[in-house]
Every structure is written in C-alpha cells, then in structure tokens.
Amino acid sequence: MSKLKLSGLPDNKPVKVTLELPAHVHRDLLDYAEILGHETGQTIADATLLIAPMIQRFIATDRAFAKARHTKRRAAENPSEQP
C-alpha cells in the first residue's frame, strides 16, 4: 500500500467553488481520487472534493509558510520591535 498525503475525505459539507484547472492537473486529480478510493475503501464520486484537503495539507506542511506566518504574527503583536 502506498503512503498518500491524504488519508480520506472528512465528512464536511462542501462549499461550491468555481476553478479552472489545466487538463493535466485535472487528469492527475481524477487519478488521485481513484487511487485514494481504492486505498480507503471510500467511493469518491467527485474528485474536486479532494482540492480543499489537498490545499489544507499543503499549507500545513509548508515550513517556509509557517515560518513567515509566525514572523508576521510576532511583528503584529510587537510593532515596536520592527526595524
């Protein structure tokens, strides 16, 4: 069994978003949904439901983003310490 970054879809009410994807990204998303469905035993009828958890996972694991966010918050909390 492979180790995908997503472990399944949470049971959340989806919010409709309009998004244009390049064709190759859409194909990859469909393939990912199929493989994830096989691994988790879930039927993923709409691959677009993977977009939000993918973005969430990407943001949660981006160390540079976390560092920049932390720096930004510290600066906002302590404006007198800014150069």
Confidence bin at 34 (pLDDT 50/70/90): very high
Q: Across residues 43-60, what is the average pLDDT? A: 92
Report CA 32 to chain centroid distance, whole Å: 13
Buried b or exposed e, range 53-75, using 16+ CB within 10 angstroms: beeeeeeeeeeeeeeeeeeeeee
Q: What is the pLDDT of residues 1-11, one digit of tens each?
A: 567 777 777 77
Please enumerate in sequence order all residues whose Cβ is within 8 A of that of 4, keeping only pairs 6 or more positions apart, or say none.
32, 35, 36, 39
Q: What is the pLDDT of residues 55-77, one digit of tens each?
A: 999 999 999 989 999 999 999 88
- Rounded alpha-carbon distances, angstroms, from residue 10 to 6, 22, 42, 44, 68: 10, 26, 11, 12, 28
Q: What is the residue extent of each domain of the chain?
A: 23-81
